[in-house]
Every structure is written in C-alpha cells, then in structure tokens.
Amino acid sequence: MTLVVKVGGGAGATTANIVREIAQCVAEGQRVVVLHGGSDLTNTLSERLGHPVRMITSSGGMVSRYTDGETLRIYAMAVAGQINTELVASLQQQGINALGLAGVDGRLLLARRKSIVRSLTPEGRLQILRDDYTGQVEQVNDSLLRQLLDAGYTPVIAPLALSHEGEGLNVDGDRAAAAVAVALQAEAMVIMTNVPG
C-alpha cells in the first residue's frame, strides 16, 4: 500500500507524534511519501532577515503569501533547508531510511508559474501582481518516486517546484501532496495540519 502524508508547517505544529506514526506505517510494510509545509518558519525567517511577509487576498477571499524573489529564497531556506533536514533526521532516528528532496530535484514537481496574481487591496480594489513566484503543480516525476520507494527509501519532499522555465516556485503543499498521491495511485492520503480550512 502506498500512503502520502502531508505534514503541516503552521505555527505550533509539532512532528514528534506524526514521525512515530509514519515510522509505524513503514514498519508495517507501507510505502510512504511525506510532503511538508513551512509557513511558520518562513514567516519567522522573513522577519529576522528584515523582509517581512506580505499576505495577499484573492478576489475569492483566499489569503496567501506573496512570493517575490527574496521571499522565494527565504522560503527555500525554510522548507528545503531546515524543515526538510529536521524531518528526515527525525525519521532516521526512528529507523526509517528517509531521503530529503525538494520538488526541484530530479524535476520531481513541475509547475506552471502564475503569470499574474490578482489581489485585493485593503480598500477592496483589484491589483495585478506580475512578479510572484508561485505556481500550480502540473506534473509529478512518479518514476523517480517509484524508484526510491522500490529501493526502500521514504521520500520527504519540500514543496518547492520547478517551473517550465527552470525557476523555483512556491507551491501549495496540500495540492502538491494531492498531485503526488494521484501520480502514484496511492491508496490513501493524509493531511496533518493545525490550520483551519
């Protein structure tokens, strides 16, 4: 059985129990792929580095992070650096042969960059943003994931995708997990989060 687990990265999220549950699933013979978020650490690093987070609201009311070039670099530091490394180390401590990856590695997650992002100003006016580095996953390199799973690895994926032009993109971790689950024809997908919605 193949299981995809998305571990949230919101404020106050702890992974100790989740790591134990994942380790138990692997010990029982399940093939597990882990994806994770990193919003809280990204926000913390942004503040520390003097580049405060800018949130935008779509016309549909969805609130998300505006990802300019500097925010993308900070996001990569958080998700592909610290969070991924710590999650892999925690799984290794449980005896799981985890392997950390970002979606850019091996063209694991290929995404289409949003050419424009529509956002509402605090006054309710529509504004168009053209320098946002976010995207939507369009393709998953499932053959790479299958090779890793067949070799006994538990892939741990940071939601940093590769655009068709070869640039890194911030992608929604929940949607990336869903794309991986579909590509692998996973029997189950679990999203562990402490964020409403």
**What is the per-residue pLDDT across 18-77, written as a single tens digit (0 to 9) for each?**
999 999 999 999 999 999 999 899 999 999 999 999 999 888 888 888 999 999 999 999
In a domain, 29, yes or no: yes
- Residue 83's domain comprises 2-192
pLDDT at 11: 54
Measured distance CA(132)–CA(71) in Å, rounded? 10
Pick from 131, 159, 127: nearest CA to 58: 127
Tell whether the model's pLDDT for residue 87 goes beyond 90.
yes
**Residue 10, pLDDT above cutoff 70:** no
Q: Does a structural domain hold residue 197?
A: no
* Cα 35 to Cα 191: distance, rounded to the nearest angstrom: 9
Rounded to a whole number, what is the distance in angstroms from the first to the last CA of the chain?
28
DSSP code for 114: P
Residue 174: Cβ within 10 Å count: 18
Q: Is residue 43 part of a domain?
A: yes
Q: Is the residue at 11 inside a domain?
A: yes
Q: Look at residue 12 in the predicted model and tell me its pLDDT.
A: 54
CATH of the domain at 107: 3.40.1160.10
Q: What pLDDT does 13 receive? A: 57
Question: Each residue of 122-178: pLDDT tens digit?
Answer: 888 899 988 899 999 999 999 999 999 999 999 999 999 999 999 999 999 999 999
Number of separate domains in the chain: 1
Residue at 91 is within a domain: yes
